[in-house]
Every structure is written in structure tokens, then in C-alpha cells.
Structure 1
Amino acid sequence: MLTFTKPFTVTEPPIDQMQVTVMRAELAAMIERKTGTDGMHDSVYPPLGFARTTQIHHPVHSVCEPAFCILAQGSKRVLLGEEAYIYDSNQYLVASQNLPVSSQVIDASPEAPYLGLRLSFNVKDIAALALEFGLAETGPKVRPQRGIFTGALTPTLLDPVLRLMKLLDTPQDVAALAPLISREILYRLLRSPDGWRLAQMAVVDSHSQRVAQVIGYLSRHFREPLRIEDLADSVHMSVSSLHHHFKSVTSMSPLQFQKQLRLQESRRIMIGERVDAATAGHRVGYESQSQFNREYSRFFGMPPVRDVKRLREMQLGQVAQAGEPGEVGDPGR
């Protein structure tokens, strides 16, 4: 079986909850200062972004890119297929793959706004770091694990996060120092009890890497007809093995994965480019309008026209409340 080096077997010391509470309060104050209004907010360091909301909205469907996410305040539910991941200010969430998810803020109010932080990362950086410090070693392959997981927030993780936040106040230092702190955060994640879930990406020619290749291909070519046999051949796997390991990571089949990408992109096109359902369906690869309408209604809960009308009304409400352009949302934050 695939084995990992000692960092993954060492038991971490008990978490000092009082220290975590103090550090989390400091983080919440920093995010509030960087945001101030509801919505998504970028920073001077592109991989780092923030989210703030005082309301509970409908679930948001999107593709969650590889990232490390913390909630300084509030809680969120993330759905991957039929599986739910619920986390709050005591936990973090990590996505190690590009995955179509549905997410919903489930705890937010004007008195206690939902305050989130997202640090995006490159899977190649994780693999390089794991190999550089010997945090994973090759061996016979095991079944890959889910591409999303949660873990307990610790002072060890919060410390570099707070330092990264403080660095934003001196923009002239960001280019030189922010990548170093981001690297430290990734290292701490790899050393965490669930770090092996990330380290599996570093195992050369593993099933995890092959599934990652398939995910990358589908993300770029989801509009094209899908031939599972050709896809399996491209990563030197049998069709049954591809299905088995792909579902282990994503909780869905390659065909279901492609369908979700198509439907989410069609929704984005209709809202952002204001095209009709027939045009959007055709642009994402549907040849049958009736099939597109049927699958869209099943996935989003209502026909395209009604759904887009509802989302546009939500956007107008957000604009009126915030006094600035609104967004449908970003589940990764």
C-alpha cells in the first residue's frame, strides 16, 4: 500500500481553544476591515480573497478550484454530488481538485456577518512541496480519496494566516513575502492529520494524478462529446478503473461531472451574457433543447427561464443593498 513518512503519523498536541478563539477574533476583525460590505472582495495578493454576507442566500453552484478556506465567522454547507461538508469557524476546508459543487452560507446575520477567507493554490505546488520535504513516498497505489476535506483550525495554521493578512497593509512587501507565507500555510496543511489527502497528489503516476488529469481534461473540453473509452486510454486506465477511482475523488462519474460543468456554464452564460436558454444549451454542447431544459430543471430545481429570472432579481437586490455591482457568488469562499 501507499505509505507516508512520519509527519503523517505524529499526533498533534491538544488544540488550545482559547488561543484559537483569540486568533480567530483577530482574523474576523481584519476581514471586516478589508471588506465592510457584502460580496466577494479581492486583495493586493491575487491568490487571497474574502467574502462577507449578512444574509443567508440560495445555494450557489460553481466550480471550486484548489484552495484553502477559513471562516472567521459563520458557517457554510458545501455539497459535492450527494455528500455534504459543513464547516464553521472552528474548521477549515480544503479543495484539492477542480470540482463542481453547490454551497450555501447557513449562518449569517447583520449582527454577526459571515466572514470568509480563501487562499488559492496550484496543485503542482503542493506536489512539489510534498516531494521536496519527503512528506510522501511512492509505493503500490491505493484508492484515491475525496478531493474535498475539512480539518480543525489550530494556532499553527492561524499564525501564518494572520501574518499574511497583516502583510496586506504593506503592499510593497507583498510580492516578496506573500508567496513565502503561502508556502508555509501549504506546508502546515501537509503536516496536518489529513495532509496525506493532499500528498497523494505528489505520488508519480498514481491513480490520484491520473484522475487529476481527467478532471483537467473535462474542465477544458466539457463542451465536446465524451467517449469514456478514449478518456480511459489517455491516462492508461481501464474504463472500470477510471469510473472507480474518478468517483472516489469526485463522488460522481465522468459523465455526471461533465454534465454539471455544462449546466453551470450555461447558467453563467445566460446571466452574464444575457443569451436565451436555447443558445446557452447549444454553446455548452447540448444538441437537444428538450434534454437541456430537462437536465437543467432537475439540477437547479426549475426551468432555465425561471431560474435566470430569479437570479437576476437577487443580483438587483444585492446591488440595492450594497450600492455596488453584485455577484451571484463564489462557493470556494
Structure 2
Amino acid sequence: MSEDAQKLAKAIAKIAQKDGEYPILQSHMRLYRSSDPSRPMPCMYFFGLGITASGRKDIMIGNTVYPMQPGQVMLPPADLPVITSVTHATPDQPYLGLWIDLDIRLMGELAIEIPAPKPAPGDELSCVNVITLDSGINDAVIRLLELHETPELATHLLPVIQREITIRLLHGPLGACLRHHLAQESPIQRITRILSWLRENFTQDITAANLATRANMSGSTFRQHFKSVTGISPLQYLKQIRLLEARQLMLNDRVDAGSAAFHVGYESASQFSREYTRMFGAPPIRDIRRLRETVHSASEISTQSEIIPARHTI
């Protein structure tokens, strides 16, 4: 483990003293601790920065697995359904990680102001990026964590440090990819707009052809770019966000399975149950019961912060 990762792990462990999820700084940052490996968990990643400080975690996007080791950073380009699992963690050396929300509008404004760095030889644009944490970002993240102890300063310093992190990202090895992502008519930007639209309209009757027309692309071009960004087909993406939303409704709003299925756009309760079981490893009632027991146990041992089931975990 690098010295930077060790410093970050120590700062996270100071707040996250028990296993669970810790939203801090008005939930702009979330900390994660696990003393044991975990089973694969489907969830959503949104535009932000995920960092592994200790332990190891696998993140599957589409059919590709990204192993996250201490000191590594992931920056998803869009709202992505993923499957995560902690692969290395013990009580003495737990998995410790964090997530920071990024403001895409701020990044777009700064990308105009900041000269683009020259691409290094061999640089390639990739829709999912895993890089080594650099000292500048690491120090800024630690300063964010320290704001947890001084809430009276957090309101004023949080946006300043978030801005610093964004500037460092634009100057770093991800700068070229981020600028390509932010370009208004780039394929990635078009797909990103479709993903945002799907997040708001997933209950509608949607076809891949409709989405291609909305993106102003041919069907084959749309499918190619959509899969390059998300790792899956448009209809697979739609199914996964429907199932994730149904799970949240059942867990947080105590909606029954049939009502949740109808609410997210399913017409067949049996089809919903089959696809839910395939994705989460258990039928809806059993899965939600298991989740509630896990959340209840985590809440009993946590004395540091509110622990809630995550829509994204890193």
C-alpha cells in the first residue's frame, strides 16, 4: 500500500469505526468500511469519484471486471448499473473506501477556463477509467474528511476543495477523456443525455429504436456507443434501473412487490419476480427481508453516523 493510500485509510477509519456506509458533508461524500468480503451487490454509480484506500474490491460494468486496489481511483462517465463485491477484507485490515459526488456543470465551466493538457503518447480515450491516486487529489480528499470535524467551516470550504479536486482531475491523466465527455455533441455526451432521460422516464414503454432517434443516431451506431459507455445494451440498462428502483421502493417505502413492479413499468408480476431473482439472487420478499436485517444490524453497531442502504457503493 502506498503512503498516500495509508494516509487516506487512516483518515477514513477515524470516522468509519464500524462496518457500514457513512454519508458525511451533507451526503456529498460517503465512506465505506467492511471487515469481511461481500457477495456481489447490484447498484448504481453516478458521476463521481470512487477511491479504494485499503482492501480490495471488484466492480463489474457490463462483462468487464475492474479490480480496485489500495490507492486506485475510478471515475464513471455516466449513470451506470454495476455489480460490486469486496474481495479482500479482514477485521485487522478492513476494506475502506469513499465516494465523492462531482458537479458536471462546474467541470464543464472549468474545462473552458483551463487549457487542455497535452495528451501523453499512447493515451487512449476510455469510458471507464481506473487510475492511481495522485498526491494532490489525495491531500485534497483528506482535507475534505477533516471538515467532518468542523461543520462550521464545511459550508464555506466544501465547494472550494471540490473545485480544487475538479481542477486537478482536468489537469491529470483523465483530463482528455473528461473534456471529450463534456463536449456537447460527442457520442459520449449524447449517450449521457439518453441515460439521464432514461433515469427520469424508465416507466414508459421504451424501445432501442426510440432511443436511437432521440440521440439522433442510426440504430447500429447508437447500440455501439451505448454499449461502449455502459457495457450493456439499452434494454438491459432499462431493465436494471427498473429493478434497482423497485428494490428501493420496497426497502425504503415498504411497497409490496406487485405494486413496485407496476410502478417501475412491469406489466407481468411473474416476469418481474424472475428478473429480480436473477439480478439480486433471491425473490423480492426474501431479498428485502435480508436487506432489512442487514441494515438493522449495521444501525445497532454504528455510533458515528447514519448508515443507509446505498444506491452506489465504492
Q: Same fold (TM over 0.5)?
A: yes
Give 1:287 shift. 0.3
Q: Does 1:154 align with 2:134?
A: yes
Q: Does 1:35 align with 2:19?
A: no
| CA–CA separation in structure 2 for the residues paired with 1:136 and 1:211 | 25
Q: Does 1:260 align with 2:240?
A: yes
The code of the aligned residue for 1:244 comes to: Q
Partner of 1:172: 152
Give 1:159 shift. 2.1
Q: 1:71 to 1:295 in 2, by over 3 A?
A: same
TM-score w.r.t. length of structure 2: 0.88
Question: Deviation per CA, 1:256-315, whole angstroms, max 9, x where unpaired?
Answer: 111000111112222223333222111110001222122222222332233233333333
Q: 1:216 to 1:46 in 2, by over 3 A?
A: same
Tell me if structure 2 keeps the 8 A contact 1:45–1:178.
no
Runs of 5+ unmatched residues, structure 1: 1-16, 138-142
| CA–CA separation in structure 1 for the residues paired with 2:300 and 2:17 | 16
Partner of 2:104: 123
Question: Deviation per CA, 1:86-139, whole angstroms, max 9, x where unpaired?
Answer: 1121211112211111111222222122221211012222222222213289xx
Tell me if structure 1 keeps the 8 A contact 2:61–2:82.
yes
Partner of 2:185: 205
The code of the aligned residue for 1:33 comes to: K
Q: Does 1:181 align with 2:164?
A: no
Partner of 1:11: none
Tell me if structure 2 keeps the 8 A contact 1:60–1:331.
no
Taking only the aligned residue pairs, the percentage that are identical comes to 33
| CA–CA separation in structure 2 for the residues paired with 1:111 and 1:298 | 34
Give 1:227 shift. 3.0
The equivalences for 1:182-261 within 5 A come to 182-261=162-241
Q: 1:52 to 1:102 in 2, by over 3 A?
A: same
Q: Does 1:56 align with 2:37?
A: yes
| CA–CA separation in structure 2 for the residues paired with 1:327 and 1:198 | 31
The code of the aligned residue for 1:265 comes to: E
Give 1:230 shift. 2.9
| SS across alignment from 1:178 | helix
Give 1:248 shift. 0.8
Give 1:220 shift. 0.8
| CA–CA separation in structure 2 for the residues paired with 1:289 and 1:327 | 28
| CA–CA separation in structure 1 for the residues paired with 2:293 and 2:69 | 29
The number of residues matched between the two structures is 308
The code of the aligned residue for 1:307 comes to: D
TM-score w.r.t. length of structure 1: 0.84
Q: 1:46 to 1:266 in 2, by over 3 A?
A: closer
Runs of 5+ unmatched residues, structure 2: 119-123
Computed over aligned residues only, the root mean square deviation of the Cα atoms, in angstroms, reads 2.4
